[in-house]
Structure 1
């Protein structure tokens, strides 16, 4: 059983569906007043995480429609991509400890954008195997370090609240990557152009992240 929190009101009223959104908005307002860096990080992570999701969502579409993959090869590539992303996330843990999660996220996003630019111009299954897997190398570290970043930002006792906001903000912008992928593919009459939409999402997330102070810098700035 969960231990009661100090100062919690056991007789507090439960809120309904609409009331829960009022509570959510109140939490965001309070967080904005007390720690704007965390709010900006939640926004940045929501955007670039949608770009990461878009990579896996539209990877199969691009593999078959643009790079000439067979259906069986798509399944093999999906397995390989997930294995590579997981292994890279484990390996990047050392860099997260030494350099900090923000640098790992920035490096991962820059790497993904670079691989995406290359995929815009190359053709054929072999090139997609090479640069598609190279791109997924950076997906795992970005996802893992985003959670590490938030865990270090969270004040003691508010971890659950912040990770709840982390999930909620991610779902709130989950339309970005599909919308921009579809927009660019429609505008240029070519599925390959949808890659530009994914790159735009990743770039916006990177730009929003850049001004956010790293957890160590925030801790150093707090009065003793």
Structure 2
């Protein structure tokens, strides 16, 4: 009997609370004592995001919206794995193509509607070194993230409108990141990831963040 991954994740999200996130912070704080090396770094890159909506007429409604992520990381290294908390500014949202006609049901036209949500985000990633290189490694892993929406805006055909995040959306955002990447010359990082949001950001359509990310980083050793 198969056990669908979506069923597992839907159960997992009920156990993902702010209290459990605080426990993780305490765990990685303890890891400072036992780490072989601790370094600091910076990372930045591209986000391709959409909002997953549920309900009649909402499934897979939005297109992926280009954005960015930028911030700092702490690299807590052990022999075979790394704990990597960070603090990032991350833009997310979605892009929707609308089709409408005039009052006479003629002259169909298209419009592009964009919703952009801006977050301060705290991820804690656990990376396993699957292949050790002479001056680096290949790694896979992931971990939880907690985000706080600070601003939002909408635009239609390039005309922007600022929105109050707290009026239209809910805080906090939270979910899990999945990451695959590499470290070169013990300094440079290249990562690709996927962020699976669990939080209902507001409304009956239950919008949740879905984000593909690509980033590069540098460790100050």
- Provide the TM-score with structure 2 as the length reference: 0.25
Higher strand residue share: 2
- Provide the TM-score with structure 1 as the length reference: 0.25
- Kindly indicate whether structure 1 or structure 2 has the higher relative contact order, using CA contacts under 8 Å at least 6 residues apart: 1
Higher helix residue share: 1
